[in-house]
Amino acid sequence: MKTPTKSSYHHGDLQKALLNTARLMLEKDGIASLKLRAITRNAGVSATAAAPHFGNLTGLLSALAAQGFDELSEAMSPEHAREPRDVGLAYVRFAIANPGLFTLMFRSDAIDPDHPVLATASERAFARLAALPTCDQSGISPEAAMASLWAKVHGLAVLAIDGLLAPLIRRSSTALTIDQLVEEAFR
């Protein structure tokens, strides 16, 4: 049995070390900087040290994305998000606080959505959304209400990350915040 404490591998827990450095690079220099060789170089190991743990670059990025979905699930959990409104707020706030990671989580050409760890992580996060008591309006199926809500929240997150909402907010006469736009979706 390998002790999961600290130094079960040669150089400590390289798996987590690689994910940590990759995440730092991600939020510092963007997704384009996530080259396998650059990650291992910054972690102080050889170029191919990640292979036994993640297989290839896609595997590493998928694991990183899974970590993101886990954190998002945590932020949207009933403990942290009492009212439905809080779930939407958590979603958008997570995206804005971790723009690189959030973007990676939905970049299906850089990650493998079928990767087991990633798939279960994302499903759990999406389940938090599906569990929302869809404030059903007149004559709208719960699925439609669900999709509409998710689309609006996700759209706000994506547009905000791309800096496309900033001009609108700046131009607004009333003091406008993204939080207000989110809250508006839950009413």
Partner DNA sequence: AGACGTAAATTTACACTGTAAAAATAACTT
Partner DNA sequence: AAGTTATTTTTACAGTGTAAATTTACGTCT
Phi, psi (degrees; rounded to nearest 5) at 175: -65, 110
**Residue 131 contacts a copy of itself per CB under 8 A:** no
Residue in this structure with the two tokens 């309006």, named with its chain if needed: 137
Name the minimum Å distance from CB 6 to a copy of itself: 35
Query: Could you give the string, one character per residue 136-155, with x where binding to a copy of itself holds by CB under 8 A and - elsewhere?
Result: ----xx-xx-xxx-xxxxxx
Stretch that binds DNA, among 44-52, 90-98, 127-135, 151-159 (CB under 7 A): 44-52
Cβ-Cβ contacts under 8 Å for 33 (sequence gap 6 or more) = 25, 26
Note whether 77 and 128 are within 8 A (CB).
yes
Among residue numbers 113 through 172, which ones bind DNA (CB under 7 A)?
none
Q: Which of 96, 106, 119, 124 binds a copy of itself (CB under 8 A)?
A: 106
Name the minimum Å distance from CB 179 to a copy of itself: 12
**Residue 29 contacts DNA per CB under 7 A:** no
Stretch that binds DNA, among 46-54, 70-78, 85-93, 123-131 (CB under 7 A): 46-54
Task: Select 10 or 28, whichever has its Cβ closest to a copy of itself.
Answer: 28
Query: Could you give the string, one character per residue 53-82, with x where binding to DNA holds by CB under 7 A and - elsewhere?
Result: x-xxxx------------------------
Q: Which of 48, 52, 59 is nearest to 117 (CA)?
A: 59
Q: Which residues bind DNA (CB under 7 A)?
A: 1-3, 7-11, 14, 35-38, 40, 45-49, 51-53, 55-58
